[in-house]
């Protein structure tokens, strides 16, 4: 392959729907220049004739947000002295710029090169997510932004923000400020203000990343009760209250009034059409101890089947959010309890670790439901050695089912739960292990099935991450040309 030296310029194609002033691409040009040429100081370090990369997009979606239907297809052609990047949308152009940036290399004498090539590329799955848990440990905004950067380097396109849970409620609600002032670890230092949330969403948009918030209920809500009286169910010991509280109280009208107000705010703050409602791991013992709940069960004809009560609650919450024109994601427990939920609801598979998730995929798609696969990618679990191989070997469509069923698998997600993770170890635990899952979700598995061939690519990519300032842990013995320079 012939290589070309470079003095470098970005430009818009004459036929491009987006031109100068496109916020997404203009900022991308600035970012990618410094990513490709990190030691450029303003002097003319490039040699020979200029090199131009011309970007043409079919749709001017410069001021919009990426969504579930956004095309990320691009065509990249590199020849002597120039490159042409064509995409249907600016989001596809961003993916093409990332690919181009990984083609640029530097020799031992400091000169930059890029090989001639022709690439037609698009993702295998539309939803390629990373979950961060900011309740069990608070993650500073700058670490979330750094994660978004690294996600884009691996072509992830959804940030699933598991923003609240039992331990803390760091989201600062305008409608219900007591939720964070009483439910966060600290009401000033360990919260996400509305400005913080806007900053995350804005940063994500410039990388072509959607932000999907999760407000999990009726379980995982202990922190909610500190700032919202009468929301949680009082637990009883015999005929007297024990002083403890359980899941959200599903029998009070005030519960649904509160949820309607909260999700109205959430839907206006988070522009994405998806919202995650949780619905997992509900402990029924408190509900069963409460005489008011038991009386409601009898009145509704639920008997002593508390899965019916959970179904009743989730159906109400889904109806609230559907009325706000949101597509709902729920953990698979909601399906397991036979809730009557809209057909466009997305089921999130987390059970079946390590191998039986295939049966879950088959069962849920057979019912005609769209699914997201997370079970084999719980990356907070660590083991000695190269466990990235396990993530790479996952084949989301390798389950018994028809072609129509397999079309219902819209993607997958790498989950970083926060029991043992905060800003001190987030990046090295996440990268480059998550990148193995990223390739599986982007690339055709028939063309990228060899772990042996993937290893040197992932090693090289890990060094790129390190040079870009990401604390990506080593895969094995060796070194990078540019080792991490900690600050």
Kindly report the number of other CB atoms within 10 A of residue 38's CB atom.
Answer: 12
**Listed residue (362, 359, 328) closest to 342, CA to CA:** 328
**Listed residue (88, 98, 36, 39) closest to 66, CA to CA:** 88
Residue pair 404/367 in contact by the 8 Å Cβ criterion: no
Going 151 to 152 to 154 to 159, the CA torsion angle's sign is positive
CA 445/CA 442 separation, integer angstroms: 9
CA atoms within 13 A on the CB side of 229: 0
Active site annotation includes 310: no
Output DSSP code: residue 11. E
Dump strand ranges (E) for 58-174: 74-79, 82-87, 105-106, 112-115, 117-121, 127-133, 158-162
Dump strand ranges (E) for 33-190: 50-57, 74-79, 82-87, 105-106, 112-115, 117-121, 127-133, 158-162
Kindly report the number of other CB atoms within 10 A of residue 119's CB atom.
Answer: 14
Per annotation, catalytic residue among 47, 63, 281, 483? 281
Residue pair 170/191 in contact by the 8 Å Cβ criterion: yes
Catalytic machinery residues: 281
């Amino acid at each position: 392959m012939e290589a070309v030296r470079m003095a470098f310029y970005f430009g818009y194609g004459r036929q491009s729907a987006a031109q100068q002033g496109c916020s997404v691409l203009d900022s991308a040009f600035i970012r990618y220049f410094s990513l490709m040429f990190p030691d450029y100081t303003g002097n003319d370090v490039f040699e020979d004739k200029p090199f131009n990369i011309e970007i043409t997009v079919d749709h001017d979606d410069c001021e919009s947000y990426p969504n579930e239907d956004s095309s990320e297809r691009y065509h990249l052609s590199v020849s002597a002295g120039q490159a042409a990047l064509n995409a249907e949308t600016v989001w596809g152009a961003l993916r093409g710029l990332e690919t181009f940036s990984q083609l640029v290399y530097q020799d031992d004498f400091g000169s930059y090169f890029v090989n001639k090539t022709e690439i037609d590329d698009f993702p295998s799955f539309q939803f390629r997510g990373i979950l961060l848990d900011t309740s069990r440990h608070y993650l500073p905004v700058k670490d979330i932004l750094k994660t978004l950067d690294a996600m884009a380097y691996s072509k992830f396109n959804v940030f699933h923000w598991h923003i609240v849970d039992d331990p803390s409620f760091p989201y600062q609600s305008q409608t219900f400020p007591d939720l964070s002032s009483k439910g966060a670890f600290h009401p000033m230092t360990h919260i996400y203000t509305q400005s913080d949330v806007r900053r995350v969403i804005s940063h994500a948009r410039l990388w072509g990343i959607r932000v999907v918030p999760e407000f999990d209920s009726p379980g995982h809500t202990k922190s909610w009760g500190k700032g919202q009286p009468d929301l949680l169910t009082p637990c009883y010991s015999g005929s007297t209250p024990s002083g403890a509280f359980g899941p959200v109280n599903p029998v009070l009208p005030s519960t649904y009034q509160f949820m309607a107000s909260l999700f109205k705010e959430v839907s206006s703050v988070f522009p994405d059409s998806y919202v995650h409602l949780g619905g997992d791991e509900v402990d029924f013992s408190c509900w069963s101890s409460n005489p008011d709940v038991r009386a409601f069960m009898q009145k509704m004809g639920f008997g002593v089947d508390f899965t019916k009560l959970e179904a009743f609650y989730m159906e109400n919450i889904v109806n609230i959010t559907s009325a706000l024109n949101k597509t709902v994601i729920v953990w698979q427990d909601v399906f397991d309890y036979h809730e009557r939920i809209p057909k466009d609801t997305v089921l999130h598979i987390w059970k079946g670790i390590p191998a039986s998730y295939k049966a879950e995929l088959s069962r849920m798609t057979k019912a005609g439901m769209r699914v997201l696969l997370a079970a084999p990618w719980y990356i907070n679990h660590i083991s000695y050695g190269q466990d990235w191989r396990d993530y790479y070997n996952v084949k989301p469509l390798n389950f018994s089912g028809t072609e129509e069923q397999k079309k219902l698998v819209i993607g997958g997600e790498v989950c970083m739960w926060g029991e043992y993770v905060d800003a001190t170890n987030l990046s090295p635990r996440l990268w480059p292990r998550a990148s193995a899952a990223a390739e599986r979700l982007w690339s055709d598995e028939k063309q990228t099935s060899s772990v042996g061939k993937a290893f040197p690519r992932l090693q090289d990519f890990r060094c790129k991450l390190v040079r870009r300032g990401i604390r990506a842990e080593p895969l094995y013995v060796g070194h990078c040309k540019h080792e991490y320079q900690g600050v």
